[in-house]
């Protein structure tokens, strides 16, 4: 597999259906955006990771359906929110944490359906505007964040973030059923040990996987796959095993950088009958030698990877 892999051209930046989006990777269906990673359906967004269905937002990670947001993490369906984390359905908020359905809040934590609040204290609209303008003028961003941390210490925090789930465990899990130990996922069903994934069914050990994928095991950075194992960066395919960078293909084993391929082993074409017979033989040999379920090591430096970026954030 390594010999075949090294003979194929490698994609430096992986994007699908993007328009005017320089330096985006593992990203699809975006327009007029810059330096997005693992993001989908965004327009006029910059410097983001796992940013979905958003417009005019910058420096945001793990956000969805946001507009005019800046420097946010885990913010959903919000408008004009800055320097905040764990907000949903909020508008015109800054330096907030764990708020839902709030408008015009500044430096607040743990609020539900509140407006014109500063440091979890209510103000009139006129006093709120005056006080916020004064604080933003006289206090640095670092000082404002310190004030938010003090407010956070006075309010209980949820041990996990879940919504509309049934029989599911993990954190930041939404609209899922029977999802076990999953993190930063949405619309999962009967899936285990997944992270950064959307719309999976009967999948296990998945990462950065999206949209209509089913019956997959140990697959990363994929979309719309069915019955695939030990694959990376494969799209719109089925019945793949130990493959990388395959598009619109089916029934391939140990193949790299191919489109519209079928019944291929190590990038060589076989008849349908030959394919299944030879794959069975190869699998048995790999299982006997302990090579099955193994994949060639990454050719990208770790320090240039999303893994390094996530580790640095944590």
Q: What is the predicted pLDDT for the residue at 148?
A: 95
Give the separation between CA 314 and CA 311, rounded to whole angstroms. Answer: 5
Give the separation between CA 226 and CA 262, rounded to whole angstroms. Answer: 14
Q: What is the predicted pLDDT for the residue at 183?
A: 96
Comparing CA positions, the residue from 153, 92, 75 lying closest to residue 84 is 75
Q: What is the predicted pLDDT for the residue at 273?
A: 95
Q: What is the predicted pLDDT for the residue at 13?
A: 87
Q: What is the predicted pLDDT for the residue at 306?
A: 60
Q: What is the predicted pLDDT for the residue at 294?
A: 80
pTM of the model: 0.86
Low-confidence ranges of the chain (pLDDT < 70): 299-300, 305-307, 309-314
Q: Are 116 and 123 in contact (CB under 8 A)?
A: yes
Q: Are 165 and 174 in contact (CB under 8 A)?
A: yes
Q: Are 161 and 172 in contact (CB under 8 A)?
A: yes
- The helix/strand count (H/E) of the chain reads as 5, 24
For the chain, the structural domain boundaries read: 13-66, 68-158, 162-309
Q: What is the predicted pLDDT for the residue at 4?
A: 92
Tell the burial category of 143 from Cβ atoms under 10 Å away from its Cβ (0-12, 13-18, 19+): exposed
């Amino acid at each position: 597999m390594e010999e075949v892999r090294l003979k194929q051209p490698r994609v430096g930046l992986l994007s699908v259906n993007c328009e005017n989006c320089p330096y985006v990777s593992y990203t699809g269906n975006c327009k007029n955006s810059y330096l997005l990673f693992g993001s989908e359906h965004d327009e006029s967004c910059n410097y983001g990771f796992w940013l979905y269905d958003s417009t005019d937002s910058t420096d945001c990670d793990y956000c969805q359906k946001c507009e005019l947001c800046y420097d946010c993490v885990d913010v959903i369906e919000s408008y004009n929110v800055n320097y905040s984390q764990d907000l949903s359905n909020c508008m015109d908020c800054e330096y907030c944490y764990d708020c839902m359905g709030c408008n015009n809040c500044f430096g607040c934590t743990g609020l539900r359906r509140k407006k014109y609040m500063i440091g979890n204290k209510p103000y009139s609209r006129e006093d709120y505007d005056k006080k916020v303008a004064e604080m933003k003028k006289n206090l640095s961003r670092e000082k404002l964040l310190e004030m938010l941390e003090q407010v956070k210490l006075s309010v209980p925090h949820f041990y996990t973030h879940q919504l509309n789930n049934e029989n599911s465990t993990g954190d930041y899990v939404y609209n899922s059923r029977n999802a076990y130990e999953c993190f930063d996922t949405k619309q999962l069903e009967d899936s285990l040990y997944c992270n950064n994934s959307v719309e999976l069914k009967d999948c296990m050990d998945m990462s950065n996987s999206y949209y209509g994928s089913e019956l997959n095991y140990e697959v990363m950075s994929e979309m719309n796959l069915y019955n695939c194992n030990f694959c990376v960066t494969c799209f719109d395919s089925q019945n793949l095993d130990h493959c990388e960078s395959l598009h619109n293909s089916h029934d391939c084993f140990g193949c790299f950088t191919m489109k519209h391929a079928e019944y291929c082993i190590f990038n060589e074409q076989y008849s349908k009958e030959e394919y299944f017979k030879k794959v069975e033989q190869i699998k048995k040999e790999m299982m006997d030698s302990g090579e099955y379920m193994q994949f060639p090591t990454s050719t990208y430096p770790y320090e240039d990877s999303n893994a390094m970026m996530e580790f640095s954030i944590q």
